[in-house]
Amino acid sequence: MSVLFIQSPSKETPRMSTSDTMAHAPQPVAQPSQPTPAPVASASVPVVPPVAPQPVRPVAPSRVAPTCLGLDVGTMNLVCARANTLGKIEIASLRNVFLTVEDVHIEGMDLSKISHARIDDGVFILSHDAYNFANIFGYRLSRSMQKGMISPEDINSTDILAVMIRELLNLEPGSKPGKCVYSVPGDPVNSKSNVLYHRNILGRIITEIGFEAEPLNEATAIIYAECADSDFSGISISFGAGLTNVAVVYKSIPVLEFALGRGGDWIDDNVALAVGTIPNRVVAIKEKDFHLDRFDMGRKKERKVREALGFYYKNLIQYVVKSALQELDRRDLDLGFPNRIPMIISGGTSLAGGFLDYIRAQVEEVAWPLELSEVRYAGDPLSCVAQGCLIKALKQ
Ligand SMILES: Nc1ncnc2c1ncn2[C@@H]1O[C@H](COP(=O)(O)OP(=O)(O)OP(=O)(O)O)[C@@H](O)[C@H]1O
Ligand SMILES: [Mg+2]
């Protein structure tokens, strides 16, 4: 495989400070504060006594603290969390989607303004640019991952994923890579697939970039990010694109981790089939002010999509609550913890309006083998897995 380059002119990975969304997350270890630079004297203002210019002393490489990162490798979104020099967490993300150039019919066009990669003989449009092109022209997006793991459908999946991860983990000049804790799903129940291949390939990709790679279950990462108040005990459900991941964690030790084979993609595919459209058109509507019980928005086709989304959303929530309960019972564990634990709801699929109320009602209807103190959202359902991974990376 030869990867020639990735070009990302549109600055796809804006870093946003998430300090406002971090109310529940333990703060990472603050980086040593930077010395305040001496004020620069203006030429017209005499400075008394004159200060001789100080030679800039290069920092010995051994004194630069390695940069630790948290990386959420999701079927739809790749999210990276890092601590800035003030100890605040910064988040960057990329959509984990691509288009091959033959599909887009833009051969011979100037690609300098489009995020793309050349791999072997192929050219691939990546991430947000791929998503936008697909929506404008009605193309079906390709994915490097499927159901939480590397997709076996495209021979280039691993290479494309590696290019996007390299872009996301990019370090400032002068920084050196430290530990990168990356998310992996649990083994899906009722399925022959398991995460071993996926986990090892990601470990190899991250190691090749120069980091020390360590896997962490996606749902367990949510407890690390969200449950400092309950001594890192809780049950988390991550409603992603490819899978729904569940973990029960007691005092930071995972007691149970598993995945269910339905998520946002299952909703999109079913809605697209039901109303006769392509899944990415459904995604565009779903991510725009969708509410489980409100369909009266947009033109006729959009209203039909919204109505179908409501049916499949409710079905997904019922399926997850029922299956999680069955799985907890089946494992026959003693989950009689001394204190009640919170249930944390997270993942992009949980962002739909009315989701939390609906799942609360479903959870309350059944008898759980553990006592719940509350059912609440994670502080930031799209980045808390990456934040939990970062917290683990910084703890060591
Ligand atoms: N505002 C929104 N309303 C409804 N759904 C949304 C919203 N934003 C994102 N989603 C959906 O959430 C899913 C992506 O969520 P997330 O980033 O948690 O998944 P992922 O981590 O990439 O996938 P997985 O964990 O299954 O591998 C997609 O199906 C996306 O369409
Ligand atoms: Mg996820």
CATH code, domain with 230: 3.30.420.40
Q: Which amino acid is at 270?
A: N
- Identify whether 30 is part of a domain: no
What is the overall mean pLDDT for the chain? 85
What pLDDT digit, counting tens, does each position of 287-305 carry? 989 999 999 989 999 999 9
Distance 256 CA to ligand 1 centre (A): 23
Of 118-122, 228-232, 338-342, which gets the smallest average pLDDT? 118-122
User: Which position has the higher pLDDT, 250 or 34?
Assistant: 250
pLDDT over 80 at 10, yes or no:
no
Q: CB under 8 Å to 326, separation ≥6 — which residues?
A: none
- Identify whether 24 is part of a domain: no
Name the packing angle between helices 279-286 and 300-331 (round to 10°). Answer: 90
Q: Could you identify the atom of ligand 1 that is nearest to the CA of residue 290?
A: 3
In whole angstroms, give the CA distance from residue 182 to residue 266: 24
Residue 336, pLDDT score: 83
77-83 β-sheet, strand order: 16-17, 89-95, 77-83, 67-73, 177-184, 212-217
- Protein residue whose Cα sits closest to atom 15 of ligand 1: 348
- Identify whether 330 is part of a domain: yes
* CB distance 176 to 66 below 8 Å: yes
What pLDDT digit, counting tens, does each position of 304-317 carry? 999 999 999 999 99
Q: Could you identify the atom of ligand 1 that is nearest to the CA of residue 242?
A: 26
Distance 200 CA to ligand 1 centre (A): 24
Q: Could you identify the atom of ligand 1 that is nearest to the CA of residue 75?
A: 27
pLDDT over 70 at 11, yes or no:
no
What pLDDT digit, counting tens, does each position of 81-131 carry? 999 888 899 999 999 999 988 756 666 677 888 999 999 888 899 999 999
Structural domain harbouring 320? 3-17+66-395
- Identify whether 348 is part of a domain: yes
Closest of 204, 209, 169, 164 to residue 69, by C-alpha: 169
Q: Give the three-class secondary structure for 188.
A: strand
What is the Cα 207 distance to its own chain's centre?
19
Distance 106 CA to ligand 2 centre (A): 32
pLDDT over 90 at 318, yes or no:
yes
pLDDT over 80 at 31, yes or no:
no
Ligand 1 interacting residues, C-beta cut-off 6 A? 74-77, 148, 218, 238, 240-243, 263-264, 283, 286-287, 290, 347-349, 351-352, 382
* CB distance 237 to 343 below 8 Å: yes
Is 56 exposed, middle or buried (CB count within 10 Å of its CB: 0-12, 13-18, 19+)?
exposed
- Identify whether 323 is part of a domain: yes
The number of distinct structural domains making up the chain is: 1
Which of the listed residues 75, 305, 359 should we mutate to test ligand 1's pocket, taking the one with most ligand atoms within 8 A of CB?
75
- Identify whether 233 is part of a domain: yes
- Identify whether 327 is part of a domain: yes
Of 79-83, 183-187, 211-215, 277-281, which gets the smallest average pLDDT? 277-281
pLDDT over 50 at 390, yes or no:
yes
Question: Which numbered ligand comes closest to the C-alpha of 149?
Answer: 1
* CB distance 8 to 167 below 8 Å: yes
Q: What angle do CA 231, 74, 236 make, to 5 degrees?
A: 25
Distance 79 CA to ligand 2 centre (A): 9
pLDDT over 50 at 65, yes or no:
yes
- Identify whether 25 is part of a domain: no
Residue 104, pLDDT score: 61
Residue 107, pLDDT score: 61
